[in-house]
Structure 1
Amino acid sequence: MKKFLASLFALMMMLSAALADEPAMIDATNAPSIPVGTLSASLVSFTSNQTYAVYSAPDSKSSRGAKNRARVSTNGWIQVFGSEGDWILVQYDITDTHNRIGYIYKNALPADVTVPELNLTNVPAIVHYDVEVTDDPLVSRTALSKLPENTKVICLGSMGEWTYIEAEENGVRFRGFVPTACLYATVTDMSEVNRAIVGSWKLYAGSSINASRITFREDGTMTGRTQLESGRELEWSGTWSIDFYDTKRDRYWNESEFELTLARGNSVEQYGLRICRQATEGSKAQYSLIISDGAKISDMVMCE
């Protein structure tokens, strides 16, 4: 009898092990459809009864949701967007009203499953107002992080009205989603900078440059108008030039991409320059100049 029970127990253990290696039968009725954009995902059946740490970026040092305790269970539905190096980007549900999008190690995939590589973009941008970043854009929109106005980000992809971005907070890398409406693309090509700056610009906010209007010409000359305390306007002229700015110099608070030099008579002034591009109706680009005058948070914005 003991021999029979031992054999039966061994058989049950073998059966249990075999079942554990089978893909889980998952109820995927709550899995969301992915809005139109550059990101898409498919349901994948993982080996059941496993859990994996989830990171916001393909980096074990990146931030994690749930106060750095985010994990996914393979006993629920999992959508896979694609792979990036040794990682895969997944979406899963925590509750009926809360999902999460993040990265797990690629070796979590069953041996017979392959997924496409992520086709991410790499477009620099800034957020032009304070905004929360979420790793659940489709359901709860719970905040993963917060970005203040003028924070630099990299745009990686889109999903409906959301843009997938990468940024840093306190030196820690993370990825998440922000409303596309909060983003302005930043110009990084010098030839576009020189084209974009030519024209007449009006002060929108700030007073760093002490001018109400400046006109930059293609030949490197400029004219401007400054309103005096008496109300009278003073007209002046000079020259301008732009160079790339090395952020290691730590001269301007917003890590400007360029440095603008203005020469008026015997006076030479330098400012950090960021040029933001926003597409308008008819695909015509509209630009704004963000000019910083020092390491403290103080700048001005000039618009066409």
Structure 2
Amino acid sequence: MTKLVEIRSLKKCFGSVEALKGITFDIEKGEVLGYVGPNGAGKSTTIRVLLGIIKASGGSAKIFGKDVWSDSIKIHKDIAYVPGDVYLWPNLTGGEIIDMLLNMHGSFDDVRRDVLIKKFEFDPKKKARSYSKGNRQKVALIAALASNAELYIFDEPTSGLDPLMEVVFQEEVSRLKSEGKSILLSSHILSEVERLCDKIAIISDGKIVEYGSLEEMRHLTRYEFKVETKIPITGFSNLEMIHDLKIEGNKAVFQADSDKIQDVLATLLPYQVIKIDSNPQTLEELFMHHYTQVAR
């Protein structure tokens, strides 16, 4: 596959504050990368560097093989961007702003624009000053999704949207992916990232702490087990491979590392298992587990 985005040891300092501490990741052609982390972790700083808004302090960042700072104008012809908070010209209508943004981009599909206006249930005739946050967000989303771009960068794109409109956005991301487009999706909605993304990068304090597919991340983490046995389980609290153990009568709930599954099954056999259920952690559980460990 062709790498559309290449970030290598990227650093950004604001005075004595190091916002990005040597991050590295790629986005392949046709790939959706989820970029997640708490507020202040460095997500928006990364995106601002990629857009050529701020200059990196070290390392490199390329889009389409071009440097994001020195070749930003050329790069912008083939990317579309939606920020997390959209500010509009108050005296223009939403439709006028969408058309202006599309004309500034230069390459767009006006039929797709009209379809998106209907799908997002958006009134393009109202003045922008009357729009709620969700409607301001729709303006940026419609303009971006109607653009003919190769890379789409979304920074908290569904902020302010109701759940029905979030579904519309997810459908559009799936459409773009089926067309071979590449997407960087920064979002706090972890279920959305889990559903849409091929790879996930988790950033904490300016460093990438997890990177890869969700399955690869799960392989390095834990499964949750729910077990019912004929003989009450004893002694499990002393086992290093068992975590967060809860026992109630003949039922037990616990977690174990994914590479210890065979050991768990062997240890359970003497207790005469009646029922067992195991599930990998969701992205939200992985995320919370990681940041709980960091906080400690």
Same fold, TM exceeding 0.5?
no
More strand by share: 1
Give the structure, 1 or 2, with the largest relative contact order (CA under 8 Å, sep 6 or more). 2
TM-score by length of 2: 0.30
More helix by share: 2
TM-score by length of 1: 0.29
